Amino acid sequence: MKIIVLAGGLSTERDVSLASAAGICRTLLERGHDAFLLDVFLGLTDAPDDLEEVFTLPGHGLEIAKNIGKEEPDLAAVRAARPDQSGCFPGPNVIELCRLADITFIGLHGGEGENGKLQATFDLLGIRYTGPDSLGCAVAMDKDFTRQIFLQSGIDTPRGVCLRKDTGDHSLAAAGLSLPVVVKPCSGGSSIGVYIVDTEEEYVAALERSFQYEDEVIVEDYIKGREFACGIVGDKVLPPIEIIPKTGFFDYANKYQAGATDEICPADIPEDVAQRMMDLTAKAFRALKLNVYSRADFLLDDEGKLYCLEMNTLPGMTAASLLPKEAQACGIGYSDLCELIITESIKARYSG
């Protein structure tokens, strides 16, 4: 198959996306596909006159791949690097190449890659792509909307409120919450802009920092407990994985720096707890109208209560990411997982 693997973009998870998509592209090449790694925002300015030749270029676009740093990327520098300085999100030749491909593997995280807009654009243009549909992506990207759907569906999630930057009273008293709380952007990912706060001073500072990312911020009860993730691909729920940061919580640095976190899969928990987590993953997946694949994040408190925090519609896909580790635990290797995502995407949208 001719496959464009889309990466990069303008989200704070840009570097994570480049690493994920590079791994996807390499394994698809190993499986015999004509794959090319493409930055959705920067595009391909030096493309050959015959764009079909891109799929067999020697480097396969992998020169744009990079390691994930300890800090989030400089998005202003990325914007400045685009030669045409266009206001259009897809860069030069991106749409044209995606239309030529048999399928586009979306290796983006956060922002325009995960909020449903790109998926809706591809639907209108007749471009085949991997991952959930536009509706599911849009719903799951909004943490406030997700929280309300979880509550209506009988899925426990931390109590919280959504605050708007320029409206309303931002005090904890007005929110009906008390310290400690978690402050996080409403649509962010990779734990960027997420703060656990214990004092009023920390709360004010956390709000200010989180509002730098978005105009809507979620404030919710802090739940002390063990951290887990549970993936789903098609109809198959994967075994839960426990996440144990060596310091602090599972923030950006702990997610992506080697040796910062222990990840145990299958998780060392009673079988009935694991099954409850898997059942809740499938329930959340359906409630948010998702398909193809996703990953749920959970907290398990000291009393055995499970809280579903969110669903990640395009979870990390480096070989060391959570979803591939869960898949490996039940006998699905990394390359097989990439092929399975393509197969499930075709089944969900393009097989009729």
What local confidence, expressed as pLDDT, does residue 256 receive? Answer: 47
190 torsion bin: left (phi>0), alpha (psi -120 to 50), beta (else): left
The per-residue pLDDT string of the chain (352 residues; one tens digit each, 9 = 90 and over) reads 999 999 999 988 899 899 999 999 999 999 999 999 999 999 999 999 999 999 999 999 999 987 766 777 899 999 999 989 999 999 999 999 999 999 999 999 988 899 999 999 999 999 999 999 999 999 999 999 999 999 999 999 999 999 999 888 899 999 899 999 999 988 765 456 789 999 999 999 999 999 988 899 999 999 999 999 999 999 999 999 999 987 654 444 444 445 668 999 999 999 999 999 999 999 999 999 999 999 999 999 999 999 999 999 999 998 889 999 999 999 999 999 999 999 999 999 998 7
**Sign of the four-CA dihedral 110, 195, 269, 151:** negative
Instruction: Count CB neighbours of 65 within 10 A.
Output: 17
292 torsion bin: left (phi>0), alpha (psi -120 to 50), beta (else): left
Q: Do 72 and 110 contact (CB within 8 A), yes or no?
A: no
d(CA 328, CA 7): 24
d(CA 247, CA 213): 24
What local confidence, expressed as pLDDT, does residue 253 receive? Answer: 45
φ, ψ for residue 110 (rounded to 5)? 70, 180
Tell me the DSSP string of 240-283: PEEEEESSSSS-HHHHHSTTSEEEESS-SS-HHHHHHHHHHHHH
- List the domain boundaries for the chain: 2-129, 148-154+224-332, 159-221
d(CA 107, CA 346): 16
Classify burial at 323, counting beta carbons within 10 Å of its beta carbon; exposed 0-12, middle 13-18, buried 19 or more: buried
d(CA 195, CA 177): 15
Is beta strand 236-237 parallel, antiparallel or unpaired with respect to 261-264? unpaired
What local confidence, expressed as pLDDT, does residue 40 receive? Answer: 97
- Cis geometry, peptide bond prior to residue 180 (ω within 30 degrees of 0): yes
Is beta strand 103-106 parallel, antiparallel or unpaired with respect to 2-7? parallel
What local confidence, expressed as pLDDT, does residue 194 receive? Answer: 87
Single-letter amino acid code for the residue at 279: D
| Pair of tokens at residue 56 | 């067999």
Fold (topology level) of 2-129: Rossmann fold (3.40.50)
d(CA 64, CA 69): 15
CATH class of the domain comprising 159-221: alpha beta
d(CA 176, CA 228): 27
- Cis geometry, peptide bond prior to residue 158 (ω within 30 degrees of 0): no
d(CA 114, CA 133): 10
8-state DSSP, 89: S
The pTM score is 0.92
Q: Where are the beta strands (DSSP E) in 135-279?
A: 160-164, 181-185, 195-197, 216-221, 225-233, 236-237, 241-245, 261-264
d(CA 334, CA 340): 10
What local confidence, expressed as pLDDT, does residue 251 receive? Answer: 45
**Under CATH, which architecture does the 148-154+224-332 domain have?**
2-Layer Sandwich (3.30)
φ, ψ for residue 195 (rounded to 5)? -135, 135
8-state DSSP, 46: T
Closest CA to 114 of 243, 327, 290: 290
Q: Do 116 and 138 contact (CB within 8 A), yes or no?
A: yes
Residue 348, SS3 per DSSP: helix
What local confidence, expressed as pLDDT, does residue 320 receive? Answer: 83
What local confidence, expressed as pLDDT, does residue 260 receive? Answer: 60
Residue 143, SS3 per DSSP: helix
